[in-house]
Amino acid sequence: MENSRAVTNTISNKKSFRRWIGSRKVQRWLILITFMTIPLILLFTFTYIPFAKMVQFSFYDMKYIGKRTFVGLANYKETFERSEIFGSLLVSLYYMGGGAVQLALALFFATMMAFKVKGEAFFKAALFFPYLICGIAVGFIFKFFYARGYVLDTILQMFGMDLEDIPFWLQDRRINNISLAATSVWRYMGQNVVMFLGAMMSVDNDLYEAASLDGANKWHQFRYIILPSIKSIIVLNLILCISGCLSAFEPPYVITNGMMGTGTYFVIMNRIAHENQRVGLASAMAIILLALIIICTVAQKLFFKYVFNDGTSDESKAAVRRRKRLEKAQRQRK
Amino acid sequence: MNTKKLTSIFFSIVKYLSLIAAAVVAIAPVCVCVLTAFKTNEEYASTSVLDLPKSFLNFENFVIAIKQANMLRGFVNTTLVLLVVLTVSVLISSMMAYVLNRFRFPGRGIIENLFLFASLLPGIAMQVTIYEIMNRLHLINHLYGYMIVLMGTDIISIYIFLQFFENLPVSLDESAIMDGCTYFGVFFKILFPLLKPAIVTSLVLKGVSVYNEYYASSLYLQKSELKTISTALYTFTGPYGNQYNYICAGVLITIIPILLFFLIFQKQVYSGMAAGAVKG
């Protein structure tokens, strides 16, 4: 009696299940279409159509409005031949140097804070806050900071330097790019500290205690506990730094307007595209930059694969070897 | 034992000195701005930049800055943009992430890779041709046009949500479906409320970047009544280029809202930064 009821139950369940699945299918398509339409339209109109146009425009001599003439590879040739464009790539080397300094400093301060510090919240906030200030405001702050006779010069004079011995921070071609790159370090260093600190905090606290009980000093703790926990974030940031430095824009744009040899790639591209309206040339520049960034990213992927997988696979190989040796020994004993 | 104690004292001294030095370097440039912003024109011309102003109640420069750069208008515009862009981008990127994470359909891999590749394209470079498209769509010099551009270049949010969905068990969806919930119901009633941490993260990251966005705003909002806060600030490069007491006042006006936001939501901001870092 009970058994048969159970059987009819499952049969009716099966029927409704079928109906259920039928309606599910319709629903599935409905949700796929409604949820994906807007993001995909946005993605195509603001990423892929512009990208396609960029490739197309790079072969034309054109303005935004008016006649277009096909010129083949002339824009690419001009990109490589214009000394200001090549010079701007050299300028981004300064920003890369700044980026390296920034990561090193961030690593140092994050490590300092990972060991117990009184007033950690204050230090963290003070270092991080510049990141939240908008690029234009940062530009003005440092225009004021570096201007002849203003903040930095006054501070140096307080320490007994003569105004004549102080260089022009923004005009002197030998140092103005360093001044500008320093503003980037000022702005982004704290953000790296917060990121590193986040990764370091994910390490179990017992580990530090155990280590100090075992007599490990601070350097050992840094070398064997902290550094491994943030290795991948450091590498990631190094790579992000490269593309970030290639696309540095706001410091020179606001502070020096790209004069005196401080024009970065984007400052010059912006001038060519929107002031001179040479859209074709600007597109060619954009594509060359994109190629550079893609090369860097691929290098990053390879680097990750090589550095991180290599370590683990070596370990497992060693483990496999050890196990085989053990098995062999056991067999021989038998 | 003794040497150990000595080294640990030495280490503490190094630690605190370096941290204090770093904090001073980080804060000092802004502090000098505060001093200068309260100085009258005569004071500004006659005193050293490091001298204190006569009174910290001299708000004249702030009034001039607000009037000169039309900053109130800038605030209104930026607020509008923030409201619309953040709402829409949380909605559409969480929806996109839901579909990509929970459904298997032809073309899914391609779509995911399209988003991945898009995150490589440098923003400023893309504006060369986005400008042409905006021109064609007659979206230049409209606030909504600028909003659409900001929504369209929103890939990090999708990644934050995708990551979060990975950690939400599928059994949640299944049990809701068993109870007769539709997929829409599953998303809006069950999953969306659970996304709260990811929503906060993406709001923080996107909010900060929208508030500070300059380049697109300078291209697509050229009329003075459409300026956002950062383009309004940029007008100081013109006629008042050397009147730093006005400029500093303007700079402080843009910093104060985000400083308040930071002080209130410190925890969320930090965790947002950490989460944004894992993205890769």
Q: What CATH number has the domain bearing residue B117?
A: 1.10.3720.10
With a cut of 60, say whether residue A318 has pLDDT above it: no
DSSP-assigned letter for residue A130: G
Average pLDDT over residues B91-110: 90
Neighbours of A284 (CB within 10 A): 28
Model confidence, pTM: 0.82
Nearest Cα residue to A190 out of A116, A95, A107 = A107
Looking at residue A198, what is its pLDDT? 82
Residue whose token pair is 């040739």: A77
The answer to whether residues B73 and A19 touch, using CB atoms and an 8 Å cutoff, is: no
pLDDT of amino acid A310: 43
Number of domains in chain B: 2
Residue ranges per structural domain of chain A: 84-309
Do residues B93 and B153 make contact, with C-beta atoms less than 8 angstroms apart?
no
Domain shared by B133 and B201, yes or no: yes
Highest mean pLDDT among A212-216, A219-223, B225-229: B225-229
Q: How far is B75 from chain A (nearest CA, A)?
A: 14
Lowest mean pLDDT among B174-183, B204-213, B260-269: B174-183
How many angstroms separate the CA atoms of A56 and B177, rounded?
A: 48
More confident residue, A23 or A188: A188
Spell A21-39 as b/e; 16+ CB within 10 A means b: eeeeeeeeeebbeebbebb
Give the span between the Cα atoms of A1 and B74, in whole angstroms: 78
**Which of A298-307, B168-177, B181-190 bottoms out in mean pLDDT, i.e. has the lowest?**
A298-307
Q: Which residue of B has its CA nearest to A38?
A: B92
Angle at A108 between CA A115 and CA A157, to 5 degrees: 120
B106 touches chain A (CB under 8 A): no
CA dist., res. A105 & res. A237, Å (int): 13
Integer CA distances (angstroms), A178 to A169, A184, B242, in order: 9, 10, 23
For every residue of B3-38, which 3-state class applies, written as one string?
HHHHHHHHHHHHHHHHHHHHHHHHHHHHHHHHHHHC
Q: How confident is the model at residue A18 (pLDDT cuts 50, 70, 90)?
A: low
In a domain, B108, yes or no: yes
Q: Is there a contact between B113 and A48 (Cβ–Cβ < 8 Å)?
A: no
Quick check: A22 contacting B, CB < 8 Å? no
Amino acid at B9: I
Q: Give me A22's structure tokens.
A: 């039928």
Residues of A with Cβ-Cβ distance to B257 under 8 angstroms: none
Pairwise CB contact (< 8 Å): B128 & A130:
no
In a 3-state reduction of DSSP, which class is residue A297? helix
Could you tell me which residue, A16 or A275, shows the higher pLDDT? A275
Whether B79 and B57 share a structural domain? no
CATH of A84-309, one of 1.10.3720.10, 3.20.20.370, 1.10.645.10, 4.10.80.400: 1.10.3720.10
CB A73 within 8 A of CB A59: yes
Asked if B209 and B100 sit in the same domain, the reply is yes
Query: Do B156 and B52 reside in the same domain of the chain?
Result: no
Q: Which residues numbered 293-322 in A keep a CB inside 8 Å of some CB on B?
A: 293-294, 297
Q: What is the mean pLDDT of residues B51-73?
A: 83
Residue scoring higher pLDDT (A263 or B93)? B93
Q: Pick A293's closest partner by Cβ from B27, B122, B274.
A: B122
Tell whether B170 and B108 lie within a shared domain: yes
B23 to chain A, any CB pair closer than 8 A? The answer is yes
Summarize pLDDT for B228-239 with one digit per residue, the tens: 998 888 888 876
Question: What part of B 117-146 touches A (C-beta under 8 Å)?
Answer: 118, 120-133, 135
- Phi and psi (nearest 5°) for A70? -75, 130
Alpha-carbon gap: B214 to the closest alpha carbon of chain A (Å): 8
B236 vs A: CB within 8 A:
yes
| Confidence tier at A1 by pLDDT (50, 70, 90) | very low
Question: H-type helices in chain A, by residue range?
Answer: 2-43, 49-57, 74-81, 83-114, 120-128, 135-146, 151-158, 176-201, 205-213, 218-221, 227-246, 250-251, 265-270, 279-304, 310-333
Q: Does B149 touch chain A (CB under 8 A)?
A: yes
A32 interfacial to chain B (CB closer than 8 Å): yes
For the four alpha carbons of B264, B267, B272 and B273, in that order, the dihedral sign comes to positive
Instruction: Give me the phi and psi of A134, to 5 degrees please.
Output: -70, 150
Q: Report the amino acid identity of residue A110.
A: A
> CB of A144 within 8 Å of any CB in chain B?
yes
Q: B27 lies in a domain?
A: no
Write the DSSP assignment of B55-108 as a string of letters. -TT--HHHHHHHHHTTHHHHHHHHHHHHHHHHHHHHHHHHHHHHHHHH---TTH
Q: Do A132 and B258 touch (CB under 8 A)?
A: yes
Residues 76-105 of B with CB under 8 A from A: 92-93, 95-96, 98-99, 103, 105
Average per-residue pLDDT in chain B? Answer: 86
**Are B131 and B259 members of one domain?**
no
Does B230 reside within a domain? no
CA proximity to B96, closest of B114, B83, B80? B114
Contacts of A132 in chain B (CB under 8 A): 208, 212, 258-259, 262, 269
CA A114 to chain centre: 23
CB contact under 8 A, B19 and A117: yes
In 3D, which of A43, A84, A96, A94 has the Cα closest to residue A296? A96
Phi-psi region at B107: left, alpha or beta (left = phi > 0; alpha = psi -120 to 50): left
* Of A94 and B120, more confident: A94
What average pLDDT score do residues A300-316 get?
Answer: 59
Complex-level ipTM = 0.88
Q: Check whether A199 has a pLDDT greater than 60.
A: yes
Residue labelled with tokens 């969480």: B94
Of A46, A236, A286, the CB nearest to B152: A46
Residues B211 and B78 in one domain: yes
Chain B environment of A286 (Cβ under 8 Å): 122, 125-126, 128-129
Q: What is the average pLDDT across B125-139?
A: 88
Q: Are B212 and B127 members of one domain? A: yes
Q: How confident is the model at residue A314 (pLDDT cuts 50, 70, 90)?
A: very low
- Give the SS3 label for residue A60: strand
Average pLDDT over residues A237-253: 81
% of chain B surpassing 70 pLDDT: 96
Q: Does B237 touch chain A (CB under 8 A)?
A: yes
The Cα-based distances of B105 to A42, A185, B76 in angstroms read 21, 45, 43
Chain B residues with beta carbon closer than 8 angstroms to that of A270? 124
Cα separation of the two ends of chain B: 45
Dist. CA A82–CA A76, nearest whole Å: 10
Residues of B in contact with A51 (CB under 8 A): 121, 126, 129
**Residue B80 identity:** L
Residue burial A71-84, b: 16+ Cβ < 10 Å; e: rest: beebbbebbeeeee
Residue B238 touches chain A, beta carbons under 8 Å: no
Tokens representing residue A294 in the block = 């893609």
Do B41 and B78 sit in the same domain of this protein?
Answer: no
In this structure, the answer to whether residues B79 and B202 fall within a common structural domain is yes
- Structural domain boundaries enclosing B154: 73-224
pLDDT at A212 (0 to 100) = 74
B228 CB near a chain A CB, below 8 Å?
Answer: no
Using a CB-CB cut-off of 8 Å, the residues of chain B touching A199 are 274, 277
Q: Is B61 an interface residue toward A (CB < 8 Å)?
A: no
Mutate which: A16, A20, A27, A31, vs B, most B CBs within 10 A:
A31
Is B48 found in the same domain as B105?
no
Helix-strand-coil percent breakdown of chain B, rounded to 5? 80, 0, 20
How far A172 CA sits from the closest chain B CA (Å)? 20
In terms of pLDDT, which residue wins out, B68 or B259?
B259
Phi–psi pair at A11, nearest 5 degrees: -65, -45
Angle at A82 between CA A80 and CA A86, to 5 degrees: 65
| Contact B21/A at CB under 8 A | no
What is the spatial distance between Cα B169 and Cα A161, in angstroms, rounded to a whole number? 65
Does B53 have pLDDT greater than 70?
A: yes
pLDDT at B65: 84
* Residue partners of B125: CB distance under 8 A and separation at least 6: A54, A247, A266, A269, A285, A286, A289, A290
The pLDDT of residue B78 is above 90: yes
Determine whether the interchain pair B219/A274 forms a contact, defined as Cβ–Cβ distance below 8 Å.
Answer: yes
B143 assigned to some structural domain: yes
Question: Residue A207 class from Cβ within 10 Å (0-12 exposed, 13-18 middle, 19+ buried)?
Answer: middle
Per-residue pLDDT, B255: 92
Are A130 and B26 a contacting pair at CB < 8 A?
A: yes
Give the residue-averaged pLDDT of A300-306: 73
- Domain check: are B89 and B189 in the same one? yes
